[in-house]
A = this chain, B = another copy of it.
C-alpha cells in the first residue's frame, strides 16, 4: 500500500499528514510557518515529514506532496509569488528534496485542495470538473480528462479574475468587473453593507447584529441573519449566488465539465448560496434546452483537502 505524505503550507501554519491511497489521513502534525526564509521553511517541512515517518515505524512512504500558498511556476518547482510567505522566487522543491530521500512534488495549495475533492470528495468519479473556491476572493482549479490542468505557465484556473461585467467593480488586480468582485465573501459583505446604507429598514436585523454599524457587518452576521430567516440577508446570499451561477454558466460554455465543486467559506452557507447558484446556472447556460447540465455540488473535505490532495499528487 503506497502511503504518501501531504504537506499544506499556509500563511500561518504548516500542516502535514500521512495519507493512504483512499485519501484517508492516518496521522497529522503541524507547526508554525517560518516567514521569509526558504531554508527555514524547508527545514520545518523536513522535520514534520521526519516526525510523521518516525511514528509510522516500518511503514513505506512513496513520496511527498507539497501544497503551498502562492503561485507555483510551471515546473512545479519555485514559488513565484507568495506575499504572505515572503518567498518570491524561492526554489521550494529543491530545498525540500535535498533534505529528504523521497520524490517531492510541489503544487499551489488551492490546486492541491481541488484535486482532493475530485479524487476523494464531492467530485469523485468526475474526469472533467471545475472546483470553485468562494473565499474572500474566488479561486479555481480545472480538471480535464482526469488530470489537473495548470496551463502553460501554471496560472490556469484564475477564474476569479475573468471579467464578469465590463466597467464593473474595481478589483485589487487592477482590472474592473472581475468575477470575484461579485461572487466572493467580500462581495457578500459589500452587498450587505450597501443594503444597510441604502435601505436600513430591509437591513434592520443585519445592523442589529453588527451593533448598528454597517461597517461591522461581516460574513457571520449575514449567515446568522439569513438562517434566522431575515429576508435582507437571504437576498444578499441570493444576489451573490446568482453571480456564482452566472460564472458557472460561462465556465460550462468554455469547459463543459461533468460537475462543479463549490468550496470555500461562502459555500459553508450551503443552499443559501448554492440554491440560487444552481438556479442561475440552469437559467443561463448556453444550449440549456438540449445540453446535459453539470452538477453543482458542495465541497466535502473542508480544510483537510489541502493535505489529502498534495499527498495524492505525490503519486502522479
Contacts and interface: CB of A to CB of B under 8 A. Distances in A.
Interface of A: 80-81, 126-128, 140, 142, 144-145, 147, 149-159, 161-170, 172-176, 178, 182, 190, 194-195, 197-201, 246, 249-251, 253-258, 283-284, 286-292, 294
Contacts of A159: 253-254
B166 A256 contact: no
Given A163-B250, A165-B165, A182-B167, A150 B256 contact: yes
A286 B151 contact: no
A292 B156 CA distance: 12
Given A194-B170, A197-B174, A199-B283, A157 B254 contact: yes
Given A197-B172, A198-B173, A158 B288 contact: no
A291 B128 CA distance: 26
B153 A256 contact: yes
Given A145-B147, A163-B250, A170-B190, A152 B291 contact: no
**Interface of chain A, helix or strand or loop or mixed?**
loop
A261 B201 CA distance: 27
**What number of copies of this chain does the assembly contain?**
4
Contacts of A294: 152
A292 B155 CA distance: 10
Centre residue among A152, A158, A175 by max chain B CB count within 10 A: A152
21 contacts: A80-B290, A81-B290, A144-B151, A152-B256, A154-B256, A155-B291, A162-B251, A162-B286, A163-B250, A164-B167, A166-B167, A167-B169, A169-B169, A173-B198, A173-B287, A174-B194, A175-B194, A175-B284, A175-B286, A176-B194, A254-B255
B199 A158 contact: no
Contacts of A253: 158-159, 161-162
A141 to B, nearest CB: 11
Nearest to A293: B153
Centre residue among A145, A254, A258 by max chain B CB count within 10 A: A254
Contacts of A190: 170
A292 B153 contact: yes
A256 B159 CA distance: 10
Contact of A166 (B152, B164, B291): B164
A257 to B, nearest CB: 6
Contacts of A249: 162-163
Contact of A144 (B144, B168, B201): B144
Given A246-B163, A249-B163, A283-B199, A151 B256 contact: yes
